[in-house]
Amino acid sequence: MPNKLQIIYTPNSILRQEAQDVAVDQIKSKKIQSLIVNMKETLKVTPDGVGLAAPQVNESLRIFIVSEEAEEIDRLELKKQAAKGVESEDVDSYEHREWKYYVFINPIVKKTAKRKLSGTEGCLSVPGKFGSLARQEKIIVEAYNEHGKKFTRGATRFFARVLQHELDHLEGILFIDKAEELFNSDKS
């Protein structure tokens, strides 16, 4: 049975540490598999989150997960751009559902685009704050999945932003370190 993990917040020092690689032969271990299952459950029940890195749940390991919802947000944005001036509920929203989660273990950036896109980011470990920052428009990452298989994944736009945000967590970097402008949310 999956458990919701406690998300830690700044200024907890683990968020500022470089996370440790997971030995490939340990990916299928009970400890790592349990951590992944619990991270998925945690992200599933946490509003407004599309990615979660192991350091955010007090595990200094090079693991993060991303919800397929990040891809859906990209599709919605492309639909909106294609339908400028057209009013449609289909263009303005998407159906929330049980999302799949992509697991990245020991990720390595293989390539990034030169072009950057500015956007707003928040973080589950920095509640009540948002920031505007530029990230590479495209990225290619190589990693292991939860089954210990190596894969390469490319991403663009919002999904690429989420990958870069989570990769930063593994290096002890928070979005507030890179933001050009910070502001508080209305909820705080």
Query: Could you say which DSSP state residue 48 is in?
Result: T
Contact between 121 and 50 under an 8 Å Cβ cutoff? The reply is no
The secondary structure element, H or E, covering residue 138 is strand 138-144
Residues in the chain: 188
Q: Point out the catalytic residue in the list 18, 142, 166, 180.
A: 166
Q: How far apart are CA 140 and CA 160, in angstroms?
A: 8
Q: Are strands 138-144 and 51-53 parallel, antiparallel or unpaired?
A: unpaired
Q: How far apart are CA 142 and CA 59, in angstroms?
A: 21
What residue ranges in the chain does DSSP mark as E strands? 51-53, 63-67, 101-112, 116-122, 129-136, 138-144, 150-156, 181-184
166 is catalytic: yes
Contact between 9 and 125 under an 8 Å Cβ cutoff? The reply is yes
Residues with catalytic function: 166
